Structures are given as structure tokens and as C-alpha cells.
Chains A and B, each alone.
Chain A
Amino acid sequence: SQTIHQWPATLVQPVGSPLSLECTVEGTSNPNLYWYRQAAGRGLQLLFYSVGIGQISSEVPQNLSASRPQDRQFILSSKKLLLSDSGFYLCAWSVLVWDNEQFFGPGTRLTVL
């Protein structure tokens, strides 16, 4: 069966510090991968999605970036965090572009102080 992991589960970082959040998927090949941010009491905002290794589409201009160094690994990064980067970050995967049922990871709660 397929599983998706995210770490860390919780992170507290000072403003201006770097960020690296990791997401890995097991049990499937060539998944589509997604990074979402959920601000407190809000819906999900799509940040990045990837249909293959090295292929990243950015949805929202910001100081975040994403990379996909391996087929089932998706990394969200920042060189300098802002207060507004605080939120709940969710990684998701899907198998087919058309049948886009997405399966979500457990999320990372990021607090920038």
C-alpha cells in the first residue's frame, strides 16, 4: 500500500532562518506531488506541484522554493523565512493527471517567530 511521510511534524524557526521540509512517498512510482499551505482557519493554497523529477511548477510567487531530487521525494525550502510563512504545510500525491484524487501527508506545523 502507498504511504506518504512528512517531517518534521512541528518546527519553530526564527525570522530570517532557512527552511527545509521533506516529503516522501512509498509504494507508488512517478506520482504527481504537491505542496500546500494552510493558514490558521483557512483553506488550502497550492504552492508547488511536480509531475516528474526536476519538474516544478510554482503557483504563488513567494520566498519559498521546491525541488524534486528523486521520483518520490519532494522538498520545500526557503533561504530566509518571513513571519507570514507560518502555517500548516501539507504534501500530497496523486497517480494520474486526469484522475486527480490526492492523498495527503500528516502535515508540518511551522511557526516563524
Chain B
Amino acid sequence: AQTVTQSQPEMSVQEAETVTLSCTYDTSENNYYLFWYKQPPSRQMILVIRQEAYKQQNATENRFSVNFQKAAKSFSLKISDSQLGDTAMYFCASGTDKLIFGTGTRLQVFP
């Protein structure tokens, strides 16, 4: 069965600093996608960044980037220049026609 593990229940970072959220996954699929979603206090799920497993180049979206290590099945999210609005739950997800989500990491950005 597919699994997604986020080993950091909570993280904190000071505004303008950089933080990295960890995610590991296990899948028997050869081709799959990986996602990071953000869930702010409003509870609306928002896509942060996506990575195609067949692409070696790490995805980047403005201040958000990933470190994708396919052999290690690792998919970490780096947030640069953290902002107060980044405070949220962050979920890692993996899959093809269905997505398996991790249990989430609660990120708090302090002024």
C-alpha cells in the first residue's frame, strides 16, 4: 500500500528565515506525481507546488522549492523568506489517480 510520512508534526520559523518540511513516501508505481498542499486556518486546501516523478529537476514556485530524491523517496519543501501568511498546515501527497496524504506539519511563522 502507498504511504506518505511527515515526521514533523510542528515547525516554527522566524519571519524572513528559511524552513524545510520533510516528507517521505512509499509507492510501487513507476510514474506518479507529488504535491504539497497548504491548509491555512480557513481550512481551504491550496496547492503550493507539484513535482512529476519522471522529472529530475526540482520544482520551484517563487519562494517555494522542493528537494526531490527519487531513489530515497523523499520530497521535502523549502520555504524561503518566510512570511506570516505562510502559517498553516502543510500536507504532502503522492499518487496517480488517487492521492495519499501525509498527516501534515503545522508551521508557525513568528514576527
A residues with a Cβ closer than 8 A to B are 32, 34, 36, 42-46, 49, 51, 59, 88, 90, 92, 97-104, 106-107
Contacts and interface: CB of A to CB of B under 8 A. Distances in A.
A107 B89 CA distance: 15
A49 B45 CA distance: 17
Contacts of B91: 43-44
Contacts of A49: 97-98
B103 A42 contact: yes
B59 to A, nearest CB: 12
Top 5 closest pairs, chain A to chain B, by CB: A104-B45, A43-B103, A44-B101, A43-B101, A97-B97
Contacts of A59: 98
Contacts of A44: 91, 93, 101
Majority secondary structure, A binding face: strand
Contacts of A45: 101
A14 B99 CA distance: 31
Contact of A106 (B31, B37, B44, B99): B44
A32 B99 CA distance: 12
Contacts of A32: 97
Contacts, number: 53
Contacts of A106: 43-44
B35 interface: yes
A98 B31 CA distance: 9
A13 to B, nearest CB: 19
27 contacts: A43-B91, A43-B104, A44-B93, A44-B101, A45-B101, A46-B99, A49-B97, A49-B98, A51-B97, A59-B98, A98-B31, A98-B96, A100-B33, A100-B96, A100-B98, A100-B99, A101-B33, A101-B35, A101-B47, A101-B50, A102-B35, A102-B99, A103-B47, A104-B44, A104-B45, A106-B44, A107-B43
